Amino acid sequence: MTLCAVLGRPVAHSLSPVIHAGAAQDAGTVPGFRYVRVEAGEEDEIRRLLSGSPACVAGFSVTMPGKPHALTLADEVTDRAAAIGSANALVPLRDSDGAQTGRWLADNTDVVGVTACLDAVLGDTAPSRAAVVGNGGTARPTVAAFAAHGVHRVDVLARSDKALNLRALVESYGMEFSWTRLDAPELASVCAGCDVLVSTVPESAAGEYTDELSRAGAVVDVIYDPYPTHLLTEAVAAGRPVADGLLMLAGQGADQFRQFTGATASSGAMYAALQKHLGLRGR
């Protein structure tokens, strides 16, 4: 048996079992694959799981509030997880014979998920200027994905000066940092000057500003409840390329599945599994 789990609190709402089941079906090369939800978000809880996991455990997905703990508890950390400051995947390290060593690697595959969304809306276009709405946990992997796409300037659009917390990360990738309040009169012109915009905030936070935000050259909204969001609806009406939060979820999950099992699954198959589960096909 190959066992994986998502750790978090609360975790009952997590769609990770859906996408990983879709991945296993698509790959077809992971016999006895199981993926379950585990209520565990505190540091001590995650530490006990890491130290007491049987050999059949191939990895843990981690959601809040466990992401910072996953980073500090791991024996090794990928460069991207270290830069972002949190991890959403814990992978058991193995020796040259493939046996687990009892040591763990922390990674952040949210970068891969955001990258999948950027690829979908940008195609071969090389963005020079990009905007991220919000300054929370998903904003940081978004910044990393911008850097991978060769962005030169990042505009952080947020309600408060907590946006300044992203300055060091943006500048560490050699990109120019700028901050604009969501209620600023120049918001529309700032968005219109961006090649792509990624919103990481709930519908309730972005809803008042969707007309301005949808003026970017392409729009990504990592939120998938409601589906579609008002922002994406406005962007489609304006003729903008868009990508939704389900695509991000599938993209980050596909990279986790590869690290957990060594098998490759199509993110498209995982996206389709999500749509089927949520009754969204044909919409």
Catalytic positions are 67
Q: Which token pair is 95?
A: 């020796």
Task: Return the SS3 of 121.
Answer: helix
As a whole number of angstroms, the distance between CA 82 and CA 102 comes to 21
User: What's the CA angle centered on 201, arms 167 and 239, to 5 degrees?
Assistant: 100
As a whole number of angstroms, the distance between CA 236 and CA 130 comes to 18
3-class secondary structure per residue, 189-251: HHHHCCCEEEECCCHHHHHHHHHHHCCCCCEEECCCCCCCCHHHHHHHHCCCCEEEHHHHHHH
Task: Return the SS3 of 92.
Answer: strand
